[in-house]
Chains A and B, each alone.
Chain A
Amino acid sequence: MDRLTTGELIPATALPARLLAHFSVPPSVCYQCRKCSAGCPLTFAMDLLPDTVIRLALLGQEETLLRCRTIWVCASCVTCTTRCPNGIDIAGVMDWLKEEALRRGVEGPQPEVATFHRYFLDSIRKGGGRLSETALMQRYTLFQLRRRPNLKELLRQLKLGWELFRRRRLRLFGPPALKGRQEIRAIFQKAGA
């Protein structure tokens, strides 16, 4: 994966101020040991290394950060956060940036991941509190087919669906209706999802 260049850096303060306020350990305590990047298993798919994300965040480089691929291919394995000698929640910063990118309507280089997450949450909301894996996969497969029709991939998905079905691992009907579905609806409304 090619790494992004950071261009001419003109530090800005808006992003760091909000970022620092969100975390109990402010990412500004980073002393650039790069242990986060050394242990990250996903660097091969990233355009910015995790330590660079932290550095750029502190320098307020929101344009680069909100459009980078790294935040979306981070698998949330939390190895970085776990090993940071200063206790920075690096994986949490990745999440914060993802949410920020969506809030601002930034079209990133990895829309599949954001779409999958959105459909996932939709499925919980529509199902009244529990996820329907089948409904989620159907909707996501249609989304992918519209973007990039790929017969081989579709056949693979259908075959997998069949293999799971005949092993009684595919639930055809939605999740049971919860008694607390009004409560769930209120949670989603409050969170704006």
Chain B
Amino acid sequence: MQVSYYPGCSLEGTAADYAASIAAVAPLVGVELVELEDWNCCGASAAHSINHELAVALPGRNLALARQRGLDVVVPCALCFNRLKAAEKEEAQGGREAARRVKIWDLLDFLTQETFLTQVSRRLAKPLTGLKAVAFYGCLSARPPQITDKQDWENPTAMDRLLEALGAEALDWSYKTDCCGAGLAVARPDIIDTLVGRLYERALAAGAECFVVSCQMCQANLDLTQSRISEKAGKRYYLPVLYFTELLGLALGHPEAAGWLARHLVDPRPLLTAKGLW
């Protein structure tokens, strides 16, 4: 099955680890990701905050490229996904309905379709038995539903269902879609310390040993800051932040899984070793 793939800027840089795991895992479930040729930045928070026109025109160009290609588009970054959807809605509102429509998918939703889940659970090379995780969905893959067209924005379950299919234990908690503040990570790191510190505490209270995420901004914000937040709080948090694609690769026995995991700052390998998953 062929789909267009819009990686977004950070997957070419700080989230190269996410990009590598996505590229490795997609073929395992029979998906061919065709990178959208000549794609550009969606403008991210910067554009929608201070230049509305740019915030629609930049993703608008990507939409046009995707329509030319004619395949559904799969987007790993929650913010890129949100901006592409927002541009689509704004076009429709302005009466500029495209003649050729393509569906814009959030990668997590795409890979957790029933058909893939069934396939995956039949082919587990290494079930993630005993791994206690909280799924952290973040903000923009689901909110606001008027833009994302999601049904379960307050209590999404796609990642939880995937974790269960992989044999892990997906713990229930109330902070699945809380904001980690990634957009302010650079300009107001003190705010992040509060928001992310709260997520660590709530995850631990739920009994979690790690976070599982589908957004590279959530990953960076929970992972890169962990030593700083620990220092400030006088605690020693150890909560690895894993991409769902990494766990998918690990459970399906992909030989490169070790390489992706070594690229996080909070090294997940001690946890996985302790669980006998390594």
Contacts and interface: CB of A to CB of B under 8 A. Distances in A.
B258 to A, nearest CB: 13
Given A124-B43, A133-B9, A175-B12, A76 B183 contact: yes
A15 interface: no
Interface string A44-88: 110000000000000000000000000001011111011000010
Interface stretch (B99-107, B127-135, B136-144, B246-254): B136-144
Interface residues of A, number: 61
Contact of A99 (B51, B179, B191): B51
Contacts of B182: 75
Contacts, number: 161
A114 interface: yes
A132 B59 CA distance: 17
B51 A121 contact: yes
B45 interface: yes
A179 B143 CA distance: 33
A82 B143 contact: yes
B119 interface: no
A131 B9 contact: yes
B229 to A, nearest CB: 12
Interface in A124-178: 124, 129-134, 137, 140, 156, 160, 163-164, 167-171, 175, 178
Interface residues of B, number: 52
Interface in B60-93: 61, 93
Contacts of A191: 51, 53-54, 57
A148 to B, nearest CB: 13
Contact of A129 (B41, B50, B186): B41
A89 B48 CA distance: 13
Contact of A75 (B38, B53, B181): B181
Given A98-B49, A113-B187, A121-B46, A178 B143 contact: no
A99 B49 contact: yes
Contacts of B9: 130-131, 133, 175
Contact of B38 (A115, A169, A180): A180
Given A169-B15, A170-B13, A170-B14, A180 B188 contact: no
Interface in B16-47: 16-17, 38, 40-41, 43-47
A79 B179 contact: yes
B19 to A, nearest CB: 10
B50 A117 contact: yes
Given A42-B191, A178-B38, A167 B262 contact: yes
A42 B51 contact: no
B145 interface: yes
24 contacts: A45-B191, A77-B139, A77-B179, A79-B139, A81-B144, A98-B49, A98-B50, A99-B52, A102-B50, A113-B184, A120-B45, A124-B43, A129-B41, A131-B41, A133-B9, A133-B14, A167-B17, A169-B16, A169-B263, A178-B40, A191-B53, A191-B57, A192-B53, A193-B54
Interface of B: 9-10, 12-17, 38, 40-41, 43-54, 57-58, 61, 93, 139-140, 143-146, 153, 178-179, 181-184, 186-188, 191, 194-195, 224, 228, 262-265
Interface of A: 24, 41-42, 44-45, 73, 75-79, 81-82, 87, 89, 91, 95-96, 98-99, 102, 110, 112-118, 120-121, 124, 129-134, 137, 140, 156, 160, 163-164, 167-171, 175, 178-180, 183-184, 187-188, 190-193
